[in-house]
Each structure stands twice: as C-alpha cells, then as structure tokens.
C-alpha cells in the first residue's frame, strides 16, 4: 500500500524506526492536520503515543497520556524518542519527546509527554458519570466548518447539539459547555491513536464563555483511557459523543474537561487540559 492510499490520519502519525537506535523514530508533519500556526494538538498527542505503541517493549495498552506543548512544531521533519523508564507487573511508564532541528541543525525538544500503559484484568467495574441524553447524530446537521483556513477541522465530521461556535463575537457568552457528535470525515475504525487526537478536538472554552475569539492555546492535556480493544472495535467508524466545558478562568489560563462516549453509551475517554489565553 502506498502512502497516498493510507487514511490521512495514518499518514500523519506514520513513524519510521531509526536503525540502530531503539525507540527513536522519524516522522514528518502533515498539512492535513495543520492548525493556525502549527499542527493540531491532538495529532501531536497521537504521534507521541504512536512512538510507544510501536516500541517492541510495549506492555499493555494506554491508560493515561499527558502531553506538554513546550514550543511550536514547525512544518517539516521531526523525530520521536520513546523511552520505557519503568516496567512493573501491570503498568509501564514512558517518557516521550518530539524533537526538531533548530537553525544550527541541533535537535530541540518541542513537546514532551508521559504515558502509562497497563495490562487490564477483569474486575468489578462501574461508570459514575451519566451518559448525556441528546438527539441522535442523524437528527442533526453537519457543521460546515469550525474555523476558516484551518485544515485539521476538515478531517472531522461534527454535528452540534449545543455550544457551537458563537454566531456573534459580542462578549455575550453565558456558559462554556459544548456537546456534539464527532467522527473522522473519511471513515476509519476507532483506535487509541484517534481517540487521543479526538480528546483535543474541542475548541477553546474561553471563546464560548466570552463570545470573544481571543488568542488561546493548549499548554498541557491529559487523556485517561477507559476502554479496551474490544470496545474500540465495537465503536468502529461510528460517532462519538463529545461533552466539554471550562471549569475556571483566571489570569491568562483556564482548564477544560471533556468526555467521549460511544454511540452504545460506553465512556471511552476523559480529558483535562490547561489552556493559555490572552486578554
């Protein structure tokens, strides 16, 4: 299969092992997932996760992924370093880094991440969060676009239930909660990589709360995975229900929390992120 035959997401997260250097991979940014000044943060998270999932020493499946966006990723080649720093009986702890060469050719860290993977065993299980009661995706119109000139949003199909992008930027916002159905625009079975990317799909809550498109960007995001391969296979290419809200806005930073549910009502992932905003 040629690269052009791959799904755009798979092209974006493709990594090639560097011979003789275990855990080091070559990659290249994708124009399909470009944001205003760099890659969509969700695709960067998925790329770093891919580094661990491709590592021959991987134990189990993703449990918790924290990505810290230290500096901008520019268009072009990069490397991912995936290092298992501790392996226990049931959990494995990872340090992940995305590096790009500076003007002198020296590699510089642009993004760091920590990952915990785990071997899950059958135990008592319960979800205390409640599935939101919302209209089915088929009853809602597809959103044409969340932002003009931003490539990555075209890679997703979004159907708003509530909390869409404000129609007027007049400072009249009253809340920060959004609910919408989402999936890849070009059908692709759900997996841990795409789930990690979708956890960052929600536009900055400060835009909705203030009805003011102030500059904003994620500083750090943590995604908790509450699913397994069987549940992901069941979700397939169907919609996920996304539910996100801001929690506190103060002195240039705010946090927002999100949930991702399958159409069958399974809570697949939750995420929390801290976001910079400018007055």
φ and ψ at 227, to 5 degrees? -135, 180
CATH number at 215 reads 2.40.160.210
110, 148: one domain: no
Could you tell me if residue 123 is inside a domain? no
Residues 107 and 158 in one domain: no
pLDDT in tens, 81-110: 999 999 999 999 999 999 999 888 899 999
**Residue 99 shares a structural domain with residue 202:** no
Supply the pTM of this predicted model: 0.96
Name the average pLDDT for the chain: 95
pLDDT at 147 over 80: no
96 shares its domain with 24 = yes
pLDDT at 5 over 90: no
167 and 68 belong to one structural domain = no
What is the total count of domains within the chain? 2
What gap in Å lies between CA 142 and CA 13, rounded to an integer?
Answer: 26
| 28 plus 144 within the same structural domain | no
Q: How far apart are alpha carbons 204 and 222 in whole angstroms?
A: 15
The three-state secondary structure class of 237 is coil
Note the pLDDT tens digit of each residue in 185-234: 999 999 999 999 999 999 999 999 999 999 999 999 999 999 999 999 99
Residue 1 has pLDDT above 50, yes or no: no
The token duo for 219 is 């500083």
In a domain, 60, yes or no: yes
Q: What pLDDT sits at residue 146?
A: 60
Per-residue confidence band for 260, with pLDDT thresholds at 50, 70 and 90: very high
Q: Which residue range(s) make up the domain with 145?
A: 137-277
Determine the pLDDT at residue 245: 98
């Amino acid at each position: 299969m040629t690269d052009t035959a791959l799904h755009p997401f798979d092209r974006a997260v493709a990594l090639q092992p560097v011979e003789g250097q275990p855990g080091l991979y070559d990659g290249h940014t994708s124009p399909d997932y470009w944001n205003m000044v760099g890659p969509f943060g969700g695709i960067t998270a998925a790329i770093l996760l891919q580094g661990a999932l491709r590592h021959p020493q991987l134990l189990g499946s993703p449990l918790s992924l924290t990505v810290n966006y230290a500096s901008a990723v520019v268009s072009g080649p990069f490397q991912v370093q995936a290092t298992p720093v501790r392996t226990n009986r049931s959990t494995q702890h990872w340090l992940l880094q995305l590096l790009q060469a500076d003007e002198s050719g020296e590699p510089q860290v642009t993004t760091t991440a920590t990952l915990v993977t785990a071997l899950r065993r059958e135990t008592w299980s319960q979800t205390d969060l409640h599935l939101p009661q919302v209209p089915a995706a088929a009853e809602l119109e597809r959103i044409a676009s969340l932002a003009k000139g931003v490539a990555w949003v075209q890679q997703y199909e979004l159907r708003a239930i509530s909390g869409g992008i404000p129609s007027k930027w007049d400072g009249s916002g009253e809340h920060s909660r959004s609910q919408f159905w989402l999936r890849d625009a070009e059908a692709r079975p759900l997996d841990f990589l795409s789930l990690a990317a979708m956890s960052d799909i929600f536009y900055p809550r400060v835009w909705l709360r203030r009805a003011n498109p102030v500059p904003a960007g994620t500083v750090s995001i943590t995604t908790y995975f509450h699913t397994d391969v069987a549940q992901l296979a069941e979700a397939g290419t169907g919609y996920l229900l996304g539910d996100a809200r801001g929690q506190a806005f103060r002195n240039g930073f705010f946090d927002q929390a999100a949930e991702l549910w399958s159409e069958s009502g399974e809570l697949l992932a939750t995420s929390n992120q801290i976001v910079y905003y400018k007055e």
